[in-house]
């Protein structure tokens, strides 16, 4: 169980994490989703005490990470695959980590087998591919057989077989009752692995709900409607648990109800409807929509030649 309360991290004038509060429950895989630079890694680093929060606090299994007597047995973390001395072998790296907790070498060999590092365990880590580095990071995270597992972008650089393996691993750990907290910037990956989703953008939590709710809520049918008396139509729809957004005086979007139902009500109310367009929302779109106002690095279409890009003026 991970509990963050008003957790903040500022670097000078820049706020990386802005008073986030969330709970990661045991027994399920919680996805931590957000675009690059949203504050995922910073949050995870604060959980294991690498970064000191500028505000708020975060506890793991009831106390701050650093106050656990056996931190590696409480939390296993893969924060970045390169947290290894390049001249040391994978086996010796794990042995040195294990020694701090009196974890026997038999467990070191176990996690090496578990992560499929056997053939390269005695080789220098410097020569590892990104995927092997990732596996070594996961091996280190599992050393202490921890109750809580934190994996930052674990599938980065893994081949398809590796990606699937991480998925099974995460689900298996959660099924054993452990807390699994897993970050990614890919919605599609999360849809396959996570049971619960925390979406972060620009340091703020945008959504925190079971994945099904997010898919349903965001993937709900959205219908673009042009009608001559929008207020009458929306008024009659109000009882159906829908939400709406008025774009122009006679143009609006209705979420949560099928187009046919809208047409039925319009017919009953005598409202003239001259457009009724269902808007399909994929999971990816839902995510983009959730985060589009919250991303730090936008990509823009290149300006046409001779045209200067619009200057970003203060509002």
162 three-state secondary structure: helix
Shortest reach from residue 306's CB to other proteins, in Å: 46
The closest of 216, 197, 142 to 28, measured between CA atoms, is: 197
Angstrom distance (rounded) from CA 191 to CA 12: 35
Note whether 84 binds other proteins by CB under 8 A.
yes
| Segment 170 to 229, residues that bind other proteins, using CB under 8 A | 172, 174-178
| Segment 98 to 127, residues that bind other proteins, using CB under 8 A | 99-102
- Given 18, 29, 41, 65, the residue binding other proteins (CB under 8 A): 65
From residue 44, give the alpha-carbon distance in Å to each of 7, 32, 51, 57, 293. 11, 10, 9, 12, 23
* CB neighbour burial string for 229-255, b if at least 16 within 10 angstroms, e if fewer: ebeebbeebeeeebebeeeeeeebebb
Of 86-94, 234-242, 246-254, 271-279, which segment contacts other proteins by CB under 8 A? 86-94
Backbone dihedral angles phi then psi of residue 183, each to the nearest 5 degrees:
-105, 155
Note whether 60 binds other proteins by CB under 8 A.
no
Shortest reach from residue 162's CB to other proteins, in Å: 21
The closest of 163, 300, 203, 183 to 7, measured between CA atoms, is: 203
Note whether 45 binds other proteins by CB under 8 A.
yes
Shortest reach from residue 127's CB to other proteins, in Å: 13
Q: How many Å is the Cα radius of gyration of the chain?
A: 24
Note whether 89 binds other proteins by CB under 8 A.
yes
- Given 27, 37, 157, 210, the residue binding other proteins (CB under 8 A): 27
Shortest reach from residue 272's CB to other proteins, in Å: 55
Binding site for other proteins (CB under 8 A): 26-27, 45, 48-52, 65-66, 68-74, 77, 79-80, 82-89, 92-93, 95-97, 99-102, 140, 145, 147, 172, 174-178
């Amino acid at each position: 169980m991970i509990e963050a309360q008003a957790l903040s991290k500022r670097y000078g004038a820049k706020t990386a994490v802005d008073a986030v509060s969330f709970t990661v429950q045991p027994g399920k895989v919680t996805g931590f989703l957000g675009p690059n630079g949203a504050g995922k890694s910073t949050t995870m680093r604060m959980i294991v005490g690498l970064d000191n929060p500028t505000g708020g606090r975060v506890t793991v299994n009831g106390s701050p990470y650093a106050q656990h007597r056996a931190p590696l047995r409480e939390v296993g973390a893969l924060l970045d695959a390169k947290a290894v001395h390049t001249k040391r072998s994978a086996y010796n790296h794990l042995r040195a980590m294990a020694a701090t907790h009196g974890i026997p070498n038999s467990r070191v060999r176990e996690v090496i087998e578990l992560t499929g590092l056997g053939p390269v365990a005695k080789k220098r880590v410097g020569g590892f591919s990104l995927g092997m580095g990732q596996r070594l990071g996961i091996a280190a995270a599992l050393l202490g057989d921890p109750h809580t597992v934190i994996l930052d972008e674990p599938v980065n650089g893994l081949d398809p077989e590796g990606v699937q393996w991480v998925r099974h691993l995460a689900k298996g750990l959660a099924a054993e009752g452990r807390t699994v907290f897993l970050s990614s910037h890919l919605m599609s990956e999360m849809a396959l692995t996570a049971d619960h989703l925390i979406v972060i953008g620009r340091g703020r939590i945008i959504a925190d709900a079971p994945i099904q709710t997010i898919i349903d809520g965001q993937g709900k049918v959205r219908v673009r409607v042009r009608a001559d008396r929008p207020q009458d139509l929306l008024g009659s729809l109000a009882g159906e648990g829908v939400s709406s957004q008025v774009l122009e005086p006679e143009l609006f979007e209705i979420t949560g109800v099928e187009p046919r139902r809208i047409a039925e009500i319009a017919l009953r109310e005598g409202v003239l409807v001259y457009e009724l367009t269902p808007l399909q929302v994929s999971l990816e779109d839902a995510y983009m929509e959730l985060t589009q106002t919250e991303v730090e690095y936008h990509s823009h279409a290149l300006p046409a030649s001779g045209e200067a890009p619009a200057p970003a003026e203060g509002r």
